[in-house]
Amino acid sequence: MNRIVAKFAQLKSAGKKAFVVYIGAGDPNLEATRQLALAFDKSGVDVLELGVPFSDPLADGLVNQLAAQRGLESGTTPPKLLATIAAIRKDAQVPIVLYIYFNLIHKVGMEKFIADCALVGVDGLLVLDLPPEESDNYEVLMKKSGLCHIYLVAPTTPEDRMELIVKRGAGFIYYISREGVTGMQTSVATNLASQIAKIRAHTNLPIAVGFGISNPAQAKTVAAEGDGCVVGSAIVNQIAEHGKSPDLVAKVGAFVKSLADAVKTI
């Protein structure tokens, strides 16, 4: 069974919520990404999203744009990242999702890229700029390789389109709790419960909520409403702050554990 599917099933049977973490791959370098992934696995992270560095990350706010830039500057390419994931798989089985823009897949060739991902132990792809209406061939290849094709739903998504999206997704639905780009926020969206209820009316897939979650209290609040929460920019910000420190992994790992512990107390 796909690791993402297995993890959400295990959490559901235990009455627990999922803690999903996003970081920019190769920030500050790929060896740090490998070490962070292993630390996160021990800290209670249920799914790890790795942002593949791209020169024009339109869905990302400033914090994650800068992480992508640092990833590019460290020489991170899709093949090097896949080699790093293969290295992670020697020590950890945490489900891994690549957060990626379609141009990078297109350059390699969709069939080859998906097969290469499956080979090294990637569990799912979240392609930011590939709408479901244009995903027929992609979905076929993903299913064939045993990977989950994860789709986004936004607060502005009309309900008829939301139904189309969630019925085509796999693994989990990523609900963007705020309009705009990624980034830290001081409060949680007030319409979270009603929006999640709308999505649940059309799918049995788990719903992970992201965009703007910055601290343990917010993570706990969001996870209580959905099936899990996604924290990205707040962690990426910690990596930016401690990127040149020899204590990078310990410091970021401690912050991530504080978030994981909050989610697990629900």
Mean pLDDT, the chain, rounded, equals 94
pLDDT above 70 covers a percentage of the chain that reads 95
Q: Secondary structure of the chain: what % helix, strand, coil (to 5)?
A: 50, 15, 35
Q: Which of 27, 31, 41, 49 is catalytic?
A: 49
Predicted pLDDT of residue 181: 46
Residue ranges and CATH numbers for the domains of the chain are: 3-264 (3.20.20.70)
Helix, strand or coil, per DSSP, at residue 96: strand
243 contacts: CB under 8 Å, gap ≥ 6: 27, 28, 32, 70
Based on the residue annotation, tell me whether 179 is a catalytic residue of this protein. Answer: no
Predicted pLDDT of residue 212: 83
Angle 183-114-204 (CA atoms, 0-180°, nearest 5)? 60
pLDDT tens digit string along 250-261?
A: 999 999 999 999
Measured distance CA(233)–CA(214) in Å, rounded: 8
Predicted pLDDT of residue 58: 87
Whether the link from the prior residue into 28 is cis, omega within 30° of 0, is yes
pLDDT tens digit string along 6-38?
A: 999 999 999 999 999 999 999 999 999 999 999
125 bridge partner residues = 98, 149
Based on the residue annotation, tell me whether 60 is a catalytic residue of this protein. Answer: yes
The secondary element (H helix, E strand) that includes residue 167 is helix 159-168
Helix, strand or coil, per DSSP, at residue 146: coil
- pLDDT reading at 191 higher than 90: no
Q: Which of 27, 46, 60, 123 is catalytic?
A: 60
pLDDT tens digit string along 47-93?
A: 999 999 999 998 888 999 999 999 999 999 999 999 999 999 999 99
pLDDT confidence band for 159 (50 / 70 / 90):
very high
- pLDDT reading at 151 higher than 80: yes
